[in-house]
Amino acid sequence: MDISTVRKSFGATEVLKGVSLSVPPGGVTVIVGPSGSGKSTLLRTINHLEKVDGGYITIDGRLVGYQVRGTKLHELREKDILQQRTDIGMVFQNFNLFPHLTALENVAEAPLVALRPGDPRRRTTAEVRARALELLDRVSLKDRADAYPRQLSGGQQQRVAIARALALDPKILLFDEPTSALDPELVNEVLDVIRELATSGTTLIIVTHEMGFARDVADTVVFMDQGQIVESGTPQDIFTNPREERTRSFFSKVIEPAFNI
């Protein structure tokens, strides 16, 4: 996936100031940075939940949210945007499960309703159900398939949300602070599931404040501040030898002295 000089403003405030980032397939990219630096906005442009004001994003060479006509970019029609979004899974801070559906139904929902006739990923209801159970098993929740979200802990709900995001075999999986709404004792069960995904070849882009986890799991760490990528590199580059003063100053505030790399 390529993000090329993406700009985005809300009113008079420019929150993405020409962001460029290349994400190799199968890689794990972790985005860190202070509150308000534009991390969530950047993630949301990747599945076109936000329109961009400038620049563009491509996945496998295909423009996200737009098509070229003549020399101009035109926004895709709503149904084409929805279709494109089936290639991109997203996991939110607050799980966003459907409250009236069981864990299994949450995972099965998109494969049953989001795919157009003729899409090669379409399956029969029985097949979708079997695959949803497999995915729940992958996040160690097969035995809770019939539970409703309100009957599950935050950590369990987030694991269902991850299984749901995997249900369409997305090309890219986006995580926006997947553990920041969880009680501390539930954080690890969710991070363990993401660690497992990280070794399985799915392309992951993760916004997190869990720096130890970022160091373990990332191929590339991207540090954002004030709508710009300040620097990116391996965890070693960014956490241990940052080039930029802004990066150093951020980590000196968020990483406790006991955190040894």
Ligand X SMILES: Nc1ncnc2c1ncn2[C@@H]1O[C@H](COP(=O)(O)OP(=O)(O)OP(=O)(O)O)[C@@H](O)[C@H]1O
Q: Which of 211, 208, 204, 173 is nearest to 27 (CA)?
A: 204
Contact 53, 17 (CB under 8 A): no
Figure out which of the listed residues 35, 71, 124, 260 binds ligand X, where binding follows CB under 6 A.
35
* Residues of the shown chain interacting with Mg ion in the complex, contacts defined by CB under 5 A: 40
Site string for ligand X, 2-21 (x = CB under 6 A): --------x----x------
In angstroms, the CA 121 to CA 113 distance is 12
Figure out which of the listed residues 39, 48, 85, 164 binds ligand X, where binding follows CB under 6 A.
39
C-beta closer to Mg ion: residue 38 or 111: 38
In angstroms, the CA 228 to CA 144 distance is 42
Is residue 40 part of the contact set for ligand X (CB under 6 A)?
A: yes
C-beta closer to ligand X: residue 4 or 93: 93
What are the strands of the beta sheet with 203-207, ordered from one edge? 88-91, 172-176, 203-207, 28-32, 220-225, 228-233
Which among 22-30, 33-41, 130-138, 243-251 is the span making contact with ligand X, rule CB under 6 A? 33-41
In angstroms, the CA 185 to CA 175 distance is 20
C-beta closer to Mg ion: residue 40 or 158: 40
In angstroms, the CA 215 to CA 136 distance is 27
Figure out which of the listed residues 24, 25, 36, 201 binds ligand X, where binding follows CB under 6 A.
36
In angstroms, the CA 147 to CA 164 distance is 14
Figure out which of the listed residues 21, 30, 32, 37 binds ligand X, where binding follows CB under 6 A.
37
Which among 39-47, 106-114, 117-125, 128-136 is the span making contact with ligand X, rule CB under 6 A? 39-47
**Site size toward ligand X, by CB under 6 A:** 10
3-class SS string, 101-115: CCHHHHHHHHHHHCC
Residues 140-159 binding ligand X (CB under 6 A) are none
Is residue 48 part of the contact set for ligand X (CB under 6 A)?
A: no
Is residue 45 part of the contact set for ligand X (CB under 6 A)?
A: no
Figure out which of the listed residues 19, 32, 38, 161 binds ligand X, where binding follows CB under 6 A.
38
Contact 86, 167 (CB under 8 A): no
E runs forming strands in 40-94: 54-59, 62-63, 66-69, 72-75, 88-91
Figure out which of the listed residues 3, 19, 30, 41 binds ligand X, where binding follows CB under 6 A.
41
C-beta closer to ligand X: residue 155 or 227: 227
| CB burial readout 220-258, b (16+ within 10 A) else e | bbbbbbebbbbbbbebeebbeebeeebbeebbeeeeeee
C-beta closer to ligand X: residue 28 or 43: 43
Which among 34-42, 73-81, 150-158, 237-245 is the span making contact with ligand X, rule CB under 6 A? 34-42
C-beta closer to ligand X: residue 84 or 228: 228
Positions in the binding site for ligand X (CB under 6 A): 10, 15, 33, 35-41
